[in-house]
Amino acid sequence: MATETKTELVLIPEVPGECISNIQAATQRTIQLSWPSDQGKNSAEADTEKQCVTVFNGDSSSGKQICGIKDKNVFTGDLSKNLVITYEAPKDTGKTGVKKFEVTYQAVSDTRCTDTPNPPTNVVQSFKVVKDVETIPADLVCAWNISTTANKNLRISLNVNSPSTDSQCVTVSNDDNSNEKKICGKEKENEYVSNGKGVHITFEQQATSLPNFEIFYKYGATSSPFCAAFSLRQLASDHAEDFDDITTRTLKENFYVDDCLVSVDSEAIAVRLVDQLRTLLKHGFRLHKWVNNNKAVLQIIPSSDGAAKLVNLGLTDPEIQRILGLCWRVEEDCFTFIVNLPERPATIRGILSCTASLYDPIGFVAPLLLLQSVNYKTSA
């Protein structure tokens, strides 16, 4: 079967008779047959003109003779169709002077797909699914391989700012087809990290056409959360003179990785802070899923960037929003606890299981939990 790696097929004119080779195509892939780029350097022009094979798609369609001369040395098969390569050696091999030669074949994407991307670096690069058009045809399948060096991880991601994130997806795996995962342009579902191997990326055939989109890639590292924090702090320092002090201070002190939690004294300050944060971070750090207990502040935020529940249910409902694991009652601006204790036997283990189910990192319900701990120690 043809793969993305170029494979050589050696043909020996000195052996008389007909040689037929069948090359199997992978599903939704095209096979490309060509001459090695350096083969002609060691052969006379007369030799390359006689180094010819006849190629057909597996269903005997689109036949063509290709030879080892410029502009006549490449054949690209139809999508998902095998190739049949026929070479008939001259009957009188002693007079032809044709030497042994090679052809190469490999699986390639549809010509409408973007070419193989550049090698990865520590800087984010990107490529689009298709070339020079805004829409991906419904019948298109594309695939790319990105190699790594020194066993570095590769990080593949999609843009979460796109309006068509649900259907803009690719399947990514290690180059040995392990650890396969489908990623889409959704928050927390848009990234893949390899484990020291190259990656294989596939855009699957869709029932309808889609807007074209970008695939981002770079060398990845486990230090990415640190990099995010460093980038925010550096951005705040670089633009300290252009924005209010509370804005740059928020970047430095009120972000936990990519979550921001901040409180201000007035509606006017909140409105200005939101506007400046969105302006400062608009290049590559989209702030969305906004929640606020003030309607005037939320009115300046596009509905697509608000928290899903608030957008769907409206601000008049008694909304409870999770903030870093805590439950925040938005309208009343207070923390609350949703107690849904499981049925447990009235034993020490059962009591400990119930008390441990309440997530309380700040200690709001510590008096209640402490009482249970004291009772446990007394009874033990």
- Within this chain, do residues 12 and 104 fall inside the same structural domain, yes or no? yes
Alpha carbon distance, N-terminus to C-terminus of the chain: 69
- Within this chain, do residues 79 and 158 fall inside the same structural domain, yes or no? no
- Contact call for residues 122 and 218 (beta carbons, < 8 A): yes
| Alpha carbons 244 and 263: distance in angstroms, whole number | 15
* C-alpha gyration radius of the chain: 31
Query: Average pLDDT of 236-240?
Result: 88
Is residue 152 over pLDDT 80?
yes
- Within this chain, do residues 170 and 139 fall inside the same structural domain, yes or no? yes
Q: How confident is the model at residue 172 (pLDDT cuts 50, 70, 90)?
A: very high
- Within this chain, do residues 265 and 283 fall inside the same structural domain, yes or no? yes
Per 3-state DSSP, the chain is made up of helix, strand and coil in percentages (nearest 5) of 25, 30, 50
| 245 domain residue, yes or no | yes
Q: Which residues contact 145 (CB under 8 A, 6 or more apart)?
A: 4, 116, 175, 198, 199, 200, 201
| CATH of residue 195 | 2.60.120.290
Q: How confident is the model at residue 316 (pLDDT cuts 50, 70, 90)?
A: very low
Least confident range of 28-32, 75-79, 267-271, 361-365: 28-32
- Within this chain, do residues 216 and 136 fall inside the same structural domain, yes or no? yes
| 119 domain residue, yes or no | no
- Distance from chain centroid for Cα 348: 48
Q: Kindly tell me the burial class for residue 58, based on how many C-beta atoms sit within 10 Å of its own C-beta (0-12, 13-18, 19 or more).
A: middle
Is residue 42 over pLDDT 60?
no
Q: Which of residues 201, 222, 243 is at a domain's end?
A: 222
| 32 domain residue, yes or no | yes
- Within this chain, do residues 299 and 314 fall inside the same structural domain, yes or no? yes
- Within this chain, do residues 104 and 29 fall inside the same structural domain, yes or no? yes
| 71 domain residue, yes or no | yes
Other Cβ atoms less than 10 A from the Cβ of 2: the count is 22
User: What average pLDDT does the structure give for the chain?
Assistant: 77
- Distance from chain centroid for Cα 116: 15
| 241 domain residue, yes or no | yes
Query: Average pLDDT of 76-86?
Result: 75
| 115 domain residue, yes or no | no
At 163 the pLDDT is 62
- Contact call for residues 210 and 219 (beta carbons, < 8 A): no
| 343 domain residue, yes or no | no
Q: Which of residues 202, 222, 242 is at a domain's end?
A: 222
Number of domains forming the structure of the chain:
4
- Contact call for residues 68 and 20 (beta carbons, < 8 A): no
| 116 domain residue, yes or no | no
- Within this chain, do residues 285 and 357 fall inside the same structural domain, yes or no? no
Longest Cα separation, the chain: 105
- Within this chain, do residues 217 and 257 fall inside the same structural domain, yes or no? no
More reliable by pLDDT, 284 or 28: 284
- Distance from chain centroid for Cα 224: 16
Interval 329-352: pLDDT, tens = 777 778 787 777 778 787 777 877
More reliable by pLDDT, 45 or 214: 214
Sheet holding 320-323, edge to edge: 320-323, 326-329, 334-336
Q: Which of residues 318, 339, 368 is at a domain's end?
A: 318
- Within this chain, do residues 231 and 165 fall inside the same structural domain, yes or no? no
Is residue 46 over pLDDT 50?
no
Beta bridge pairs of residue 335: 328
- Within this chain, do residues 11 and 103 fall inside the same structural domain, yes or no? yes
Give the range of the structural domain holding residue 24, as residue numbers without chain letter.
7-108
